[in-house]
Amino acid sequence: MNIETFISNIVASSVEALYGKVEPSQLQIQKTRKEFEGDYTLVTFPLLKMSRKSPEMTATEIGEHVVANNQQISSFNVIKGFLNLVISPAFWAERFAEVASDEEFGQAAPSGRTIMIEYSSPNTNKPLHLGHIRNNLLGYSVAQILKANGHNVIKVNLVNDRGIHICKSMLAWQLYGGGETPASSGMKGDHLVGKYYVEFDKHYKAEVKELVAGGMSEDEAKKQAPIMLKAQEMLRKWEAKDAEVYELWQTMNGWVYDGFDVTYKAMGVDFDKVYYESQTYLLGKSLVQDGLDKGVFFRKEDNSVWIDLEADGLDQKLLLRGDGTSVYMTQDLGTALSRFEENKLDDMIYVVGNEQNYHFQVLKLVLKKLGYEWSDNIYHLSYGMVELPEGKMKSREGTVVDADDLIEDMVATAREMSEELGKLDGCTKEEADAVCTMVGLGALKYFILKVDPKKTMLFDPRESIDFNGNTGPFIQYTHARICSILRKADEAGIDYKSHGCTELLGEEIELIKSLADFPNVVAAAGENFAPSMIAAYAYDLAKTFNGYYHDHSILREENEEVRRMRLMLSAQIARVISRAMKLLGIDVPQRM
């Protein structure tokens, strides 16, 4: 049952019985604020023209009519023009029974919508870093949340496997690599290629410095540095399918893909399909020609192709360089067209950092001007950067926090803190390893996903593994605690799968309210592409349960019926915590 709809219906019935037909927009119903008694609050001011009475009198009349005609509403109170309705314990007992009997609780019915979500989108010239971790975790979680909302979701990765940045790593390996391979060096392939990206930058800066010392301006030196000219020539050769360049490109990209796969597996993310820019940029070029033919684009004297968006409050945007090589916008146009046509998409979501806000604004506008109405269904899920206590990261200078190193450090920190707190006592080595991996990754994922995506965030590894704060490990430990209680009940032969109706305590009703709200939270998180809503819900549910567990006996409760109800309530809380955390890509342990 949708509780908000139920309350709206009974309030509407009372208002119509008292004052006549009411428009849905006149019924402003919200959850009662915590400092007041009640479950749902009606704002009466929009109804005063109908009632022709004071706000307090209007609220009182409606409250009396609702209570008299609906046994589910036990009482009401009025504060100025606000009517606070108190729902009966019997109503919450019925909702609890519904939650417990619904095996798919929290999963919406099929919506018929197909949504593609692109995340990760790495360059093949360096390993994944902390910024990629936020991107991958956010994209994967939003995909899980959209699936829970009944949508058909296609998770895709667009690999930036071509362009000047790739050529920089390739050229540096040719010049300074001495034939080094992942096998000969013992390095993961993505790390090895990233090493040569940094190597390129080091030599490039040295050449620029030398040219400036010889009297050249810095801007000109950056253009004329020999190593940069060689990289640009390599890119032209790649686009011309030069056999030697193409073979080196395939080899080095292969090293990187093998490395990425290891990192994705460790992170617990996956994709339904992988696109490669090397396969989509040509389609983008054909769209550029189409735009020229339609007069939407124009060519400059240097042969480059542009679109003028000044009338739309933007500027002129490059779509094809003078030498015929493509830019990011070229291939994004081609990729978008192929995706919508191949998959009959309703929506396309790009999970990309906020430094690309302008890019996606232009992408939508260019597609619209080319006549593609589905461009309105493109959404850029923009997110802020991740910073460390030490400051920002720079990949070309080799100062990034590597994803593999961070995951390894998180698991090691989880082990250290778990051992200090005695969380691994009685575990076998295999169990301890599994728990530490689960807790380390859970801490990382929760710490990143609990923050609104749009905010720049500061990541502190040790703070994220606090077992008592708003963290993944706190929620994971709560789940393990409940599992321990249920195991003991099973060992004692207590059947808690069914129980008679018992009188519910206020704290029990609060927990049932929270459980019943889960589908609404999933729906809101889906509408807003906001895993942070799921994280806040899971934390509040775990925190409320811990308070209840501290104040009330569960296994030692002497009343057999009450004990069974409390065990069943605990089991449902564990189930919903597990489902909520799964939407964040986080596993929860049975023991800890």
> Looking at 353, 387, 421, which one is the last position of a domain?
387
Q: What one-character DSSP code corresponds to residue 590?
A: S
pLDDT at 390: 64
Q: What pLDDT was estimated at residue 397?
A: 46
Q: pLDDT band at 256, cuts 50/70/90?
A: very high
State the Cα angle at 353 between 352 and 359, rounded to 5°.
70
Domain-embedded: residue 374: yes
Answer yes or no: do 181 and 325 share one domain: yes
Q: Is residue 112 part of a domain?
A: no
Measure Cα distances from 239 to 189, 243, 323, 341 in Å: 24, 11, 11, 26
Say what the pLDDT of residue 393 is.
43
Q: Does residue 110 sit within a domain?
A: no
Q: What is the pLDDT of residues 182-233, one digit of tens each?
A: 999 999 999 999 999 999 999 999 999 999 999 999 999 999 999 999 999 9
Distance from C-alpha of 263 to C-alpha of 436, rounded to nearest angstrom: 17
The average pLDDT across 504-531 equals 95
Mark whether 226 and 257 lie in a shared domain. Answer: yes
Token pair belonging to 224: 């004329």
Please indicate, yes or no, if residue 209 is contained in any of the structural domains: yes
Does residue 285 carry a pLDDT above 90?
A: no
pTM of the predicted model over 0.75: yes
Q: How many CA atoms lie within 13 Å of 580's alpha carbon, on the beta-carbon side?
A: 34
Quick: pLDDT tens for 109-141: 999 999 999 999 898 988 898 889 999 999 999
Q: Residue 460's domain spans which residues?
A: 403-583
Q: Judge if 410 and 382 occupy the same domain.
A: no
- Predicted pLDDT at 270: 97
Mean pLDDT calculated for residue range 67-85:
96
Let me know whether 567 and 418 are in one domain: yes
For 439-493, the pLDDT digits (tens) are 999 999 999 999 999 998 888 777 888 788 899 999 999 999 999 999 999 999 9
Rounded to whole angstroms, the Cα distance separating 388 from 416 reads: 21
Ranges 335-339, 379-383, 500-504: which has the least confidence? 500-504
Asked if residue 444 is part of any domain, the answer here is yes
Integer angstrom CA distances of residue 565 from 50, 498, 508, 554: 46, 8, 10, 9
Domain of residue 76, CATH code: 3.30.1360.70
Residues 165, 31 share a domain: no
Cα angle vertex 458, ends 264, 478, to 5°? 70
Q: Are 143 and 120 in contact (CB under 8 A)?
A: no
Query: Of 78, 95, 98, 97, which is closest to residue 87 (Cα–Cα)?
Result: 95
Q: Which residue has the higher pLDDT, 131 or 426?
A: 131
Q: What is the dihedral angle through the alpha carbons of 417, 423, 427, 430, rounded to the nearest 10 degrees?
A: -40
Above pLDDT 90, what percent of the chain? 77
**Is 587 within 8 Å of 442 (Cβ atoms)?**
yes
When the pLDDT of each residue in the chain is averaged and rounded to a whole number, the result is: 92
CATH code of the domain in which 349 resides: 3.40.50.620
100 domain residue, yes or no: no
Mean pLDDT along residues 14-31:
94
Task: Please check whether residue 197 is in contact with residue 126, taking contact to mean a CB–CB distance below 8 angstroms.
Answer: yes
Q: Which residue bears the tokens 């991740």? A: 386
Distance CA 423, CA 497 (A): 29
Residue 394 has pLDDT above 60, yes or no: no
* Separation CA 443–CA 411 (nearest Å): 9
477 with 382, same domain: the answer is no
**List of long-range contacts for 217-220, beta carbons under 8 Å, 24+ apart:** none
- Nearest by Cα to 343 from 155, 158, 529, 159: 155
Boundary (domain end) residue, out of 42, 70, 87: 87
Q: Are 80 and 118 in contact (CB under 8 A)?
A: no
Q: Which CATH number covers residue 522?
A: 1.10.730.10
pLDDT at 399: 53
Interval 82-105 mean pLDDT: 94
Its sign, for the CA torsion 167, 168, 173, 174, is positive
Helix-strand-coil split of the chain, %, nearest 5: 60, 10, 30
- DSSP secondary structure letter of residue 530: -
In the chain, the amino acid numbered 320 is L
Q: Domain boundary at 46, 63, 87, which?
A: 87
The radius of gyration computed from the CA coordinates of the chain, to the nearest angstrom, equals: 29
Total domains in the chain come to 3
* Mean pLDDT to the nearest integer, 7-20: 95
Within this chain, do residues 538 and 435 fall inside the same structural domain, yes or no?
yes
Q: What is the pLDDT of residue 175?
A: 97
Same-domain check for residues 129 and 248: yes
Same domain for 568 and 451? yes
Inside any domain, residue 559: yes
Strand order in the sheet with 82-87: 28-31, 40-43, 82-87, 73-79
Both 270 and 364 in one domain: the answer is yes
The answer on 427 and 289 residing in a single domain is no
Query: Is 80 exceeded by the pLDDT of residue 163?
Result: yes
| CA–CA gap between residue 296 and residue 458 (Å, rounded) | 43
- If one compares 306 and 399, the residue with the highest pLDDT of the two is 306
Tell me, what DSSP letter sits at residue 418? Answer: H
Q: 524-570 pLDDT, tens per residue?
A: 999 999 999 999 999 999 999 999 999 999 999 989 999 999 999 99
Same-domain status, 356 and 427? no
Read off the pLDDT band of 396 (50, 70, 90): very low
Any domain includes 114: no
